[in-house]
Amino acid sequence: MPAPLVLGIETSCDETGVALVRGRDLLADVTASSMDEHARFGGIVPEVASRAHLEAFVPTLDAALAAAAVDLADVDAVAVTAGPGLVGSLTVGTAAAKALALATGVPLYGVNHVIGHAAVDELVHGPFPEKFVALVVSGGHTSLLLVRDVATDVVELGQTLDDAAGEAFDKVGRLLGLPYPGGPHVDRLARTGDPEAIRFPRGLSSAKDRERHPYDFSFSGLKTAVARYVEGCEDRGEEVPAADVAAGFSEAVADVLVSRALGACELNACDTLVIGGGFSANSRLRELAAERAEQQGVTVRIPPIRYCTDNGAMIAALGSALVRAGAAPSALDLPTDSGMPLTRVQM
Ligand code: KG4
Ligand code: ZN
């Protein structure tokens, strides 16, 4: 018998994602984004995002079903992001998922978006090892997880105490006068600068902080240091060495992310590190992770970028893992939780 066909729905932020997964095979993954509508505001406008999901949902669903050459009646289970995310956006996706599950009489799974960012890698690189460390980094999250089973056994090791890595990049992008979202622009500029020209601070890196927070991150001090540096140049009437600032800043962020993640592998005797979330597009993070992981004998798994940004495949992948694990479905009246804890895989 073929594995159950799982429909995955993602609407936690500005991307409307719908995907179809059978077992660990991705049959279709379609995403619509409302980012263009937010760019001029310099940030996501929740009400605009909710309305965009409402408009995009049915066309995105139709496109995914057509791409997979299946019918709604073929779907065996529906998985949807229940949290964390913007409450209005989550509500559109969960309402749609509930309606589809009810109409077709199949089980519904409300799942955790952040854990989905790790789960999607199984569709790309095959079954997970017995245990692994996951680093999920995006504009909204920077978390370290210890995963024994993505469906049933996820432990939150740590997270950022202030900004997410992508958020810090977006803020530095603004300081350097780059368009929103600044992350990719800062990354591109950094490639042309000298990463050693300016040494920016690494958050929580004193011996005392490392002992108290072996798995946590902090980027607010770094962000302030960059702001001070830029202001200093301006006060002195000097030109800001933007490429060197971007390179030094990128180096500091990648250094902290990679050292904490590989430290977590060592402390938990894991030989696999999975990296997910939109920030894993960052070129310095990818380079440094590959370089240092090899020295430590750790295998790094990073999905292609289209599966790192928010998408339906990650939610279908996690739904499929839950079905495979025999997890009980969620209630048809499941709530959304904008602050859904990472200890909770399923609502
Ligand atoms: O996962 P994602 O698409 O959405 C959220 O859930 O936040 O992540 C987008 C975030 C944004 O902050 C964006 O600026 C950042 O990831 N980002 C990057 C790069 N590509 C995206 N930051 C640094 N370097 C990049 N290449
Ligand atoms: Zn995300």
Residues 242-277 pLDDT 10s: 999 999 999 999 999 999 999 999 999 999 999 999
Which range, of 223-227, 232-236, 270-274, 340-344, averages the lowest pLDDT? 340-344
> What digits encode the pLDDT tens for the residues 98-135?
999 999 999 999 999 999 999 999 999 999 999 999 99
Ligand that lies nearest to the alpha carbon of residue 308, given by its number in the listed order: 1
* Cβ(173) – ligand 1 distance below 6 Å: no
Pairwise CA distance, residues 330 & 347, whole Å: 6
Place 41 in a pLDDT band, splitting at 50, 70 and 90. Answer: confident
183 lines ligand 1 (CB under 6 A): yes
In short, whether 281's Cβ falls inside 6 Å of ligand 1 is: yes
Binding site membership of 184 for ligand 1 (Cβ less than 6 Å): yes
Using the mean position of ligand 2's atoms as its centre, give its distance from the Cα of residue 114 in Å.
6
Whole-number pLDDT of residue 11: 98
State residue 35's pLDDT score: 87
pLDDT band of residue 325 (cuts 50, 70, 90) is: very high
Give the model's pLDDT for residue 34. 86
CB of 110 closer than 6 angstroms to any ligand 1 atom = no
pLDDT band with cut points at 50, 70 and 90 for residue 152: very high
17 close to ligand 1 (CB < 6 Angstrom)? no
Pocket test for ligand 1, best of 143, 169, 249, 251 (most atoms within 8 A of CB): 169
Domains contained in the chain, CATH given: 5-120+311-324 (3.30.420.40), 130-303 (3.30.420.40)
Structure confidence at residue 37 (pLDDT) = 85
Judged against a pLDDT cut of 90, whether residue 329 lies above it is answered with: yes
Q: Is the pLDDT of residue 281 over 90?
A: yes
Cα–ligand 1 centroid distance for 119 (angstroms): 18
Q: Give yes or no for residue 282 CB within 6 A of ligand 1.
A: yes
What is the tens place of the pLDDT at every residue in 188-213?
A: 999 999 999 999 999 999 999 999 99
**Which residues have a Cβ under 8 Å from the Cβ of 48 and sit 6 or more positions away?**
34, 37, 38
Is 216's C-beta closer than 6 angstroms to any atom of ligand 1?
no
**Which pLDDT value is given to residue 40?**
83
Question: pTM of the prediction?
Answer: 0.95
Q: Is the pLDDT of residue 44 over 90?
A: no
Q: Which atom of ligand 1 is nearest to the CA of 138?
A: 8
Separation of 29 CA from ligand 1 center, angstroms?
Answer: 19
CA nearest ligand 1 atom 2, residue: 278
User: Tokens 């971007």 sit at which residue?
Assistant: 246
Mean pLDDT of 92-98: 98
Ligand 1 centroid from CA 281, angstroms: 7
Query: What is the average pLDDT score of the chain?
Result: 96
Confidence band, pLDDT 50/70/90 cuts, at residue 139: confident
Which atom of ligand 1 lies closest to the CA of 281? 26
